[in-house]
Amino acid sequence: MGQGPLDGYPRDPNLRSFRQPALALTQAISPETDPGYVPRLTKVLKLSTATSYRLTIPGAAHLTFMDAPLYLPPVPSIVGSLGRTESPSIVAAATLTFLDTTLRHRPDNLSAVLSGYGDLSVYHPDL
């Protein structure tokens, strides 16, 4: 079974591994923006006992990961620069690809497909 936090932050004070594949979809976050975000998220993804993914979607903003861009004015600072329909389409397509591949055991090359949506980091479990 797959999991996918959407631009979320690992809040559990006792970080634990996932036994199933995990997908984190994020906006671009720099150390200046939030110095702890990427290191903490990376730590969680590396703890996983299954392959995990972090996909940074160019042009995304925090509200990209919900249906807000469909209803709010297309102000890049709150909905990103992807436009009203492009951001929900990219999030839905990447999520569907991840779920189809992991839950339905589709033979797709998940890394290759996901990297078409943005900057992909893949974390393989230590075997």
The pLDDT tens digits for 5-62 are: 555 566 666 777 778 888 999 988 888 888 888 888 888 888 888 899 999 999 988 7
0.85 exceeded by pTM: no
Cβ atoms < 10 Å from Cβ of 53: 24
